[in-house]
Structure 1
Amino acid sequence: MAVHRNILVFSLVLLAPILAGIARTSTAATIAAGGYHTCAIGEAAGEMRCWGSGSYGKLANGSGPELDRAAPVAISSPIARWRSVAVGDSHACAIAASGAVYCWGYNGFGQLGDGTSITRPAPVAVVGLGSGVAQLSVGLNHSCALMHSGKVNCWGAGEFGRLGSGQVANQTTPGEVLTLTGAISVGAGAYHTCAAINDGSVKCWGRNGSGQIGDGSAVNRLTPVFTSITIAATEVAIGGYHGCARSAAGAVQCWGYNADGELGNGTTATSTVAVNVEGLASGATRLAAGIYHSCALTAGDILKCWGYNGYGQIGDGATGPAVVRPTSVVNLPIPVAEVTAGNDHTCVRASGNRIQCWGRALHGRTGVGNTATSPGYAQRPLAVSGLPAPAVKLSLRTNNACAVTVIGSASCWGNNESGQIGDGLALPHATFVYQAGPRDVADLSSGVRDIATGDLHACALKTNGTVWCWGSNIYGQLGDQTAIARRTPVQVIGIVNAVQIAAGIGFSCARTAVGGVWCWGFNTNGQLGNGTNTHSLQAVPAIGLGQDIVDLSLGNAFACAVRNDGKVLCWGSNTRGQLGDGTATARNVPTLVNDNFGIYAGIATGGEFSCGLTSAGQAKCWGYNDVGQLGDGSLMQRSTPAGVATLSSGVARLAAGQYHACALLSSGQLKCWGYNANYQLGDGTLVNRTQPVPAANVSGSIHSLALSGQSSCVVLADESSRCWGLNSAGQLGNGSIAANFAVPQEIAQWLRDDLIFRDDFEP
């Protein structure tokens, strides 16, 4: 395996038609992947959005902090319509609808072409090109423009002769490549450049240490020289240290660096002359080259890639060693119109303006709401972003979250290993895929009134009283009378009049309009409450509740319910005293909590503890207390209710997570206690608290709150949602998390508006 440098490259970008006889599947290069970011142009409106690394202003946001973006953001420019874009390592260039060329980003070598070396966070006009540009290509620190005249102009870093000027000096404005005429396609690599000529030949210039010039030598070239190709080239795609060419008949040849299979000839031997790519003697319709991998779109819209696959950029569902011959990309929409390859990721544009990316997600370059630049936690509340409408209810579990919106739709995000996001995403075997931005749950775009997340599944309650579940189903926790996992919702059999739902680890329950409770799924500890310890694939009634139930909550392996007379009954696992009956004995039928004087209005269960809200506004908790989750000032386990310190009155609402709890006071203040290793208490520290402390960074009136394993969320009165705490699986929904993708994934919320890009991750 080669040692891989953290540099660049850049896709070939085409504006067609350039010359007659060159077939194109799209009329413009409207998507381009670079070293650490990606840009695309809307097909209908011609507006441009970029995502990924924001350093050096390469997302062109104009000003302000250079933030990474895990979903498309609009560039800052008075130019309303764009035709073509090319993206490099730390800069980008584009052709406006008027034909003028603009560049932005890092400019230390003059690669923006504006006559300066000043870095620009917004597009600036390239000097002297006019409107005669047919195609752009951007390399590591240089840029090139193919003119309609067949000439090529380059600017930026001149090291190794990559500008074709006969010199190695940098140029801050475009200069004509010497001795080159009749060019029909151009590609810029890390330190070299190539062009296809209208007589079928290919000429290259610049660095040649890996044979990337393709002339049979390892000698750097300051001006263009012929490569050794034996096909009549109509297109070139130039990677970091290799190059490829395609003929009109679809034959593909490559040359140069090959330690990772970049040449696709079944070997890892570097070649200073062009070699045939296996299986591509004909039929290729489009090429793309990244720094260490290559791709070809073939007849029938089959995309094949080869080369380095350490981050899944080949798209075959695997990661690992070199892929030395073309391999089909899986999970693609058809037809594919464009393909582009960046440093360690690949993207396509398919029918319906759908854009899918795969490979390395660092800095958010794949655009699916994932980036590794943020830590695995949030110290302060961050906006949940990308929802189709404001949330009215949130539900959290350790690695997942779901929301019901004001329009009655359901969205989920976080860990999706069992399909618990419910968007129908087909995952590669044994690959954990995290979604750090909300995804629409399939078939639940309206009519949802309640939602609940379990450990690997989720359930939604519709306004018609039916319950629908999705995700893992090993124990029947989806209630559809099967043990088959579902990536989209299925209806729970026999529940038609539910008014509340709850989910635990491997089991689910619903409260009905007539006051009963029905449960299904895992039952080893009696958590279904039906007097047995047998798992159930369908809903069964919890027995012996006595009167109508007015509230319901599930812990890891137990359940609690509030009766209309104010009494609390719990059942299931009781190893930590979480049932509150004064014992540590598991119960497979509901059992009264031992609090003769307590009249309760609500219940909130954590992992292995419970908290109740009395009708007088007092908070009481019982069960496990190893990190202060009972809030009574001690670390003593309690098998009967104990008052939470300082909360003897004035509590309006309670919520419990795996190891912490929070109370919303009638004054509007939020107080939390318990485990705090990931800032989930919101007090700005990492100190566990045995008594309630104010959540310091939550501003505005709180409408509702929800807690998970080590995270917390609120919905504010202005209908915005804020989350803080652990974010290791994207469960905060703010577009941050580290996750690579070995198969194509659609970029975050791309089609919320028809053919219009949206900035889904802006607060």
Structure 2
Amino acid sequence: MGSSIVSPDIVDFTDVRTSTHTQASKGGIGIITEAKAQCFKEAFASKGYFTITKKLDNTLWSFGQNSSGQLGDGSTVNKNNQVKIGNSTDWAKIAVGESHVCAIKTDGSLWAWGNNNAQQLGDSNYIYSAIPVRIGNDYNWKSISVGLNFTIAIKTDGSLWAWGDNNYGQLGNGAYYIKKKYPTQIGTSTNWSNVSAGARHCLAIKTDGSLWAWGYNLSGQLGNGTNTTQLFPIQIGTSNSWKSISAGDSHSVAIGLDSSLWVWGDNSNGQLGTQYGFSALNFPYQLTSAVSWAVVSAGLYHTVAIKADGTLWAWGKNTYGQVGDGTTLNKQTPTQIGSESNWLSVSAGSYHTCAIKQTNTLWSWGWNILGQLGDSTNINRNIPNPVNCIGMCFPTTSTYTQVSCDSFYWSKKNKWYYSSNVTDTIKLINSKGCDSIITLNLTIYITTHNITKKTAYGNFRWKKTNYNTSGTYTYSYINNAGCACVDTLKLVVNPYNGCSKQLSAGVAHSLLIKNEGTLWSWGYNSDGQLGLSTFNSEFTPKQVDTLKNWAIVSAGGRHNLAIKNNGTLWSWGRAYEGQLGNGSFTNKISPTQIDNSTTWSYVSSGNNHSSAIKKDGSLWIWGSNLDGQLGIGDNLDRNLP
């Protein structure tokens, strides 16, 4: 998985539903990204060290730790590759805990497997099960959530049920320590809509949108403004606008109907994302002013979320790379993971995370010592890593994008192409015996040798370079297809008709460069913008200094920018908004060099901001940014380029 260098004619499309291949250049070397994971519907990272997935055919698969049979494959052997759980194809709802799993089938029946040391399976004994076992005889189970050693579920009539460990009142039945060996109803309400079990506490939403919590509360994870454990469900606040919830080890997260994101509870590892140190909160706190959150999942000590635009974000403990940002440093604020905008669902486990994209591809990252990432290794990953789909064969569709010079030969069809913007397809048979349809998107660039003839006065700028003498000049470059191209300029430079080489007017002052390269100024001088080492206004042109090496000048509101013949950049005048670019906000009454670079080629001064271009074509900006005029995504002033 990932990107690899291959020949486009030997791509293996086994188990691939969609694949993309991009090649640019002559010489047959390309980059291919194969998505061999496009068969996953849901994935659940446990608060232990294993993962359960559901594929598009509604079969269940598992990998990771298996000491209590939680993988459901009939053994207690850890697996770092995917194993199928039975042969059923009618699984509907899945919930994973630290070491046990509960699931509901499409017929509404309830099943469980894994650790049973606290009777969390609900089958009235303490014996673990390495395969799914039926719990009771009811067919009206609607949704389910699994905690550390207990289970919470909702029936189709809206009633709430719990069983397993109860040392912290997490079963919500008004008692401590008394376990329940089979599903037991909590209260008499029949309007429960959604429930989420944390390590030792629970969150739930009723059909009226109200939020409820109970169980352990040492870190304020219930959100009722106290740190007192609650034995019965209690309403949190008065709002009736809660949409979804997720309970972590000792922290809680939720999304409102307006797509706002709320956090509370333990913050010892930055899992609340509040950026205000590591203080716990015992009440729901809106994390950001943004109301664009779609999915959120609370892990052991980290949190992962998806915005409405499909981007992925994470924060909190990152010791094993479970945040997924390419580091192992904890994150105290939401951090975007990659740049993709097609994430569909995400599940935060103990020290690992798994997510599914809109393309039904499965990705996992974080700790992998027991194979919980499912990539057939035990190597930790600190960025999302694709997981291959096995056990299913789909017809493949792939796109092969080719950019070439002048012509292209596609060996799969034994065909030459000479025109650009071509789309062609070929149908093959992949190694699973399924159709493999490959689409070629071809762009052909023609090698160019352009000749330009120009007549100029004094100076002519071409290809980011200034020319002040007549002659023939060439510019060599590689175009988008990797083709070697040469452009030619035939230039005739005539002398200026007057004495001035360049003139620039500010708000109330003017600047002039004469042919011999001297710099002159006149007009208003409140901030030293004339560069004459005074604040006196001048009514006639005054020479700024005795040098004759000034090339380009631009007058702003009350400041100026200039470039000398040697490519150095200079500024003077007003600096209150950082527009001089010298790292300070102090006015300068004479030209001051900005940095040591000698590759500046063009400048432009605004009212209170500045911009410049280097010979490599890069754009640099600084100064006032009150109205976003710097174009860098915020409104903060900058005093350096």
TM-score, structure 1 as length reference: 0.45
Shift of 1:394: 3.2
Paired residues of 1:384 and 1:734 also in contact (CA < 8 A): no
* Aligned position for 2:70: 420
Task: Identify which of 246, 260, 267 aligns with 1:604.
Answer: 246
* Aligned position for 2:271: 629
Shift of 1:504: 1.0
| C-alpha distance after superposition, 1:3-23 (max 9, x if no partner) | xxxxxxxxxxxxxxxxxxxxx
Residues 612, 750 of structure 1: alpha-carbon distance in 2 compared, 3 angstrom cutoff: closer
Residues 419, 384 of structure 1: alpha-carbon distance in 2 compared, 3 angstrom cutoff: farther
Paired residues of 1:384 and 1:732 also in contact (CA < 8 A): no
* Aligned position for 1:396: 46
Letter in 1 for 2:322: Q
Letter in 2 for 1:514: D
Shift of 1:701: 1.2
- Output aligned runs, 1:488-499, within 5 Å: 488-493=131-136, 495-499=138-142
Q: Distance in 2 between matches of 1:524 and 1:636?
A: 26
Q: Work out which of the two has the higher radius of gyration on C-alpha atoms and give 1 or 2.
A: 2
- Output aligned runs, 1:207-356, within 5 Å: none
Q: Is 1:659 matched with 2:301?
A: yes
Task: Identify which of 86, 94, 98 aligns with 1:442.
Answer: 86
Task: Identify which of 88, 111, 117 aligns with 1:468.
Answer: 111
Q: Distance in 1 between matches of 2:255 and 2:98?
A: 25
* Aligned position for 1:49: none
Paired residues of 2:40 and 2:53 also in contact (CA < 8 A): no
Shift of 1:589: 1.2
Q: Distance in 1 between matches of 2:52 and 2:353?
A: 13
| C-alpha distance after superposition, 1:444-497 (max 9, x if no partner) | x21101111111111111011111000111111111112111111111225431
Letter in 2 for 1:506: N
Q: Is 1:723 matched with 2:341?
A: no
* Aligned position for 2:581: none
| C-alpha distance after superposition, 1:241-293 (max 9, x if no partner) | xxxxxxxxxxxxxxxxxxxxxxxxxxxxxxxxxxxxxxxxxxxxxxxxxxxxx
Q: Distance in 2 between matches of 1:551 and 1:524?
A: 23
Letter in 2 for 1:710: Y
Residues 725, 467 of structure 1: alpha-carbon distance in 2 compared, 3 angstrom cutoff: same
* Aligned position for 1:539: 183
Give 3-state SS (helix, strand or coil) of 1:641's partner: strand
Residues 603, 63 of structure 1: alpha-carbon distance in 2 compared, 3 angstrom cutoff: closer
Residues 459, 547 of structure 1: alpha-carbon distance in 2 compared, 3 angstrom cutoff: closer
Paired residues of 2:211 and 2:239 also in contact (CA < 8 A): no
Q: Is 1:574 matched with 2:184?
A: no
Q: Distance in 1 between matches of 2:86 and 2:58?
A: 13
Q: Is 1:503 matched with 2:161?
A: no
* Aligned position for 2:232: 589
Give 3-state SS (helix, strand or coil) of 1:566's partner: coil
Alignment length (residue pairs): 362
Q: Distance in 2 between matches of 1:406 and 1:551?
A: 24
Q: Distance in 2 between matches of 1:477 and 1:738?
A: 31
| C-alpha distance after superposition, 1:649-669 (max 9, x if no partner) | 111111111111122111111
| C-alpha distance after superposition, 1:142-188 (max 9, x if no partner) | xxxxxxxxxxxxxxxxxxxxxxxxxxxxxxxxxxxxxxxxxxxxxxx
Residues 738, 674 of structure 1: alpha-carbon distance in 2 compared, 3 angstrom cutoff: closer
Q: Distance in 2 between matches of 1:693 and 1:598?
A: 29
| C-alpha distance after superposition, 1:604-623 (max 9, x if no partner) | 11111101111111111111
Paired residues of 2:368 and 2:379 also in contact (CA < 8 A): no
Give 3-state SS (helix, strand or coil) of 2:112's partner: strand
Shift of 1:508: 1.0
Paired residues of 2:147 and 2:199 also in contact (CA < 8 A): yes
Shift of 1:543: 2.0
Give 3-state SS (helix, strand or coil) of 2:194's partner: strand
Shift of 1:599: 2.0
Residues 462, 414 of structure 1: alpha-carbon distance in 2 compared, 3 angstrom cutoff: same
Please list every run of 5 or more consecutive structure 1 residues that lacks an aligned counterpart in the other structure: 1-60, 65-71, 74-380, 428-432, 740-747
Paired residues of 1:750 and 1:758 also in contact (CA < 8 A): no
Shift of 1:581: 1.2
Paired residues of 1:453 and 1:503 also in contact (CA < 8 A): yes
Give 3-state SS (helix, strand or coil) of 2:46's partner: strand
Give 3-state SS (helix, strand or coil) of 1:397's partner: coil
Q: Distance in 2 between matches of 1:396 and 1:757?
A: 34
TM-score, structure 2 as length reference: 0.53
Q: Is 1:677 matched with 2:327?
A: no
| C-alpha distance after superposition, 1:53-88 (max 9, x if no partner) | xxxxxxxx9979xxxxxxx99xxxxxxxxxxxxxxx
Q: Distance in 1 between matches of 2:51 and 2:35?
A: 14
| C-alpha distance after superposition, 1:170-210 (max 9, x if no partner) | xxxxxxxxxxxxxxxxxxxxxxxxxxxxxxxxxxxxxxxxx
Q: CA RMSD in A?
A: 3.0
Please list every run of 5 or more consecutive structure 2 residues that lacks an aligned counterpart in the other structure: 8-13, 16-32, 381-387, 394-429, 434-641
* Aligned position for 2:159: 516
Paired residues of 1:494 and 1:539 also in contact (CA < 8 A): no
Q: Distance in 2 between matches of 1:397 and 1:570?
A: 20
Letter in 2 for 1:490: V
Paired residues of 1:437 and 1:735 also in contact (CA < 8 A): yes
Q: Distance in 2 between matches of 1:494 and 1:397?
A: 28
* Aligned position for 2:192: 549
